[in-house]
Copies of this chain bind each other. A is one copy, B any other.
Amino acid sequence: MTEVTSRNVAGDKPIQIHDPTLRDGHHAVRHSLGAEQLRAYALAADAAGVPVVEVGHGNGLGASSLQVGRARLSDDEMLTVTRDALTNSKLGVFMLPGWGTIEDLKNAIAHDVDLVRIGTHCTESSLAERHLGFLREQGVEAHAVLLMSHMATPGKLAEHCARLVEFGATGVGIMDSAGHYLPADVTERITAMCGAVDVPVIFHGHNNLGMAVANSIAAADAGASILDACARGFGAGAGNTQLEVLVPVLERVGYRTGIDLYGLLDAADVAERDLMPAPPTVDSISIVSGLAGVFSGFKTPVLDVSAREGVDPRDVFFELGRRQAVAGQEDLIVDVALALRGAGTGDRS
């Protein structure tokens, strides 16, 4: 500690950084990034040596819609400009089966994507079978991630990861979509997953409990070899793991990312200046949704319904957590609010 920490401290354990700033971060600005913004950030990330740059609508290929928000640019436009900007970094895309289809995958392949990630709810890996099979046939590198992973046990996650590998995934992992994990939770899950598969294991953190960096380090220490992180923590709600913090911390504890620190800070400065009005912060609702283990995308409807029904939105989040609500079940919010109103606010334990 009294020794100097300089620009070029680097460890020797290789780890791969996967950067979804231009995809998951897109949630923070309602999918509104334009071509010049995508280009500026992609060029900076490429220059810094970031291994994978993922781009798209926040919900992935094919997801632009009235329901979750229309992206400013089409998938075609986003893929064209980002492909053009990347010289060394791989171009990645994300897809949730149901939002996107095989046709969207074909289109992405036509744009020469290097890596496709397929996401499913943590207990629904079978939804990815057909898409992973298609990508294997096409010879495209395909990874798979389990969303809202705190809702399944380590054993179940390990089983689903093994199944995803059978389907063709050459990398598998978990997202802490609700920002619910503490480091010991991550250690337990990544350890179980690493014991079940022989492919690289992925961890994707969120910062609702201020633990995104610490959880990512715990994941690496437990054997994860691909970590997701976004410039400035750019992402939905409390944000994702902050890329330019994670990288030097990883290097300091003995990992080697291959990323140049100053280049990375320059990319973060581009994100700060060109992509976002202000970075994500951890507000009270983010904390409650993280504690309750509920997707932070519920924030706006929970606040609206709670105000209308005269109940405490924090109670609504905790009750949604008890009921294991997941994205798509927004109708539950009204049920919960009415039940709490009936029970009276004095009884909100």
A interface with B by C-beta (< 8 Å): 1-2, 4-8, 150-153, 180-185, 207, 209-214, 232-233, 242, 244-246, 248-249, 252-253, 262, 265, 268-269, 272, 278-279, 281-284, 287-288, 291-293, 312, 314-315, 318, 321-322, 348-349
Task: Return the contact of A185 from the options B1, B291, B314, B318 (Cβ within 8 A).
Answer: B1
A288 to B218, CA, bound (A): 22
With a CB–CB cut-off of 8 A, which chain B residues contact A182?
249, 252-253
Whose C-beta in chain B lies nearest to the C-beta of A292? B5
Q: Does A4 contact B321, Cβ atoms closer than 8 Å? A: yes
Q: Give CA–CA (A244, B284) in the complex, Å.
A: 8
CB-based contact B245/A349 at 8 Å? no
Instruction: Verify A209–B249 contact, CB threshold 8 A.
Output: yes
Structural contact, B211 and A252, CB atoms closer than 8 A: no
* Given contacts A4-B321, A182-B252, A272 and B279 within 8 Å (CB-CB): no
Which residues from B are CB-within-8-Å of A287? 244-245, 248, 265
A349-B2 in contact (CB<8A): no
The answer to whether B265 and A284 have CB atoms under 8 Å apart is: yes
A218's nearest neighbour on chain B, judged by CB, is B214
Residue of B nearest to A207 (CB): B210
In the assembled complex, how far is the CB of residue A3 from the closest CB belonging to chain B, in whole angstroms?
10
Within the complex, the shortest CB–CB distance from A208 to chain B, in Å, comes to 8
* A210 and B212 in contact, given A5-B291, A314-B265 (Cβ under 8 angstroms): yes
Query: Which B residues are in CB contact (< 8 Å) with A213?
Result: 209-211, 214
Complex contact A252–B291 (CB within 8 A): yes
CB neighbours (8 Å) of A292 from chain B are 4-6
Q: How far is the CA of A183 from the CA of B184 in the complex (A)?
A: 13
Known: A151-B2, A214-B183, A281-B281. A248 touches B291 (CB 8 A): yes
Complex Cα spacing A209 to B151, Å: 29
For the complex, what is the distance from the CA of A168 to the CA of B209, rounded to whole Å? 37
Closest to A241 in B: B210
Chosen A-B contacts, 6 in total, with CB atoms closer than 8 Å, are A4-B293, A182-B249, A210-B242, A211-B249, A248-B287, A278-B281
- Name the distance in Å between A222's Cβ and chain B's nearest Cβ: 15
- Residue ID in chain B nearest A238 by CB atoms: B245
Most buried by B among A182, A245, A278, A348: A245
Which chain B residues border A184 with CB–CB below 8 Å? 253
A233 to B207, CA, bound (A): 14
Closest B residue to A265 by beta carbon equals: B284
The answer on a CB contact under 8 Å between A211 and B214 is yes
Q: Which residue of B lies closest to A239 (CB)?
A: B281
Q: Which residues of B contact A1 (CB under 8 A)?
A: 150, 153, 180-181, 185, 293
Q: Which residues of B contact A322 (CB under 8 A)?
A: 4, 6
Give A85 to B29 CA distance when docked, in angstroms.
Answer: 40
Determine whether the beta carbon of B265 is less than 8 Å from that of A288.
yes
